[in-house]
């Protein structure tokens, strides 16, 4: 029974590690895409409305990824101790 609990906790650790690393990859990809778009002139702010839409969309992306990253990171920190206590 102990091995089953340990395996489940190991799988939970791996799941949260994959979630955290995926959010980092998504954020870096988004930032690189923004950088390329600014350099090539793909994004131009003609008026205040365009900037507000862009800023709102970026805030949603960053906020969502940050929330998921922090949640999975906190779970990652607690799981090794739970595995040791088995």
Rounded to two decimals, what is the model's pTM? 0.78
Q: Is the pLDDT of residue 26 over 90?
A: yes
- Count how many domains the chain has: 1
Q: Chain centroid to CA 28: how far?
A: 10
The residue count for the chain: 86
Structural domain boundaries enclosing 58: 2-84
Tokens of residue 15, six digits: 């799941």
Q: Is the pLDDT of residue 38 over 90?
A: no
Place of tokens 């922090």: 70
Q: Give the mean pLDDT of the chain.
A: 88
% of the chain beyond a pLDDT of 90: 49
Q: How far is CA 25 from CA 4, 55, 82, in A?
A: 32, 20, 28
């Amino acid at each position: 029974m102990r091995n089953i609990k340990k395996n489940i906790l190991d799988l939970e650790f791996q799941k949260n590690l994959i979630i955290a690393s995926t959010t980092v990859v998504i954020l870096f990809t988004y930032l690189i895409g923004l950088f390329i778009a600014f350099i090539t002139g793909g994004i131009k702010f003609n008026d205040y409305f365009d900037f507000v839409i862009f800023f709102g969309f970026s805030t949603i992306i960053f906020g969502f990824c940050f929330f998921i990253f922090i949640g999975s990171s906190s779970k990652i920190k607690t799981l090794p101790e739970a595995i040791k206590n088995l």
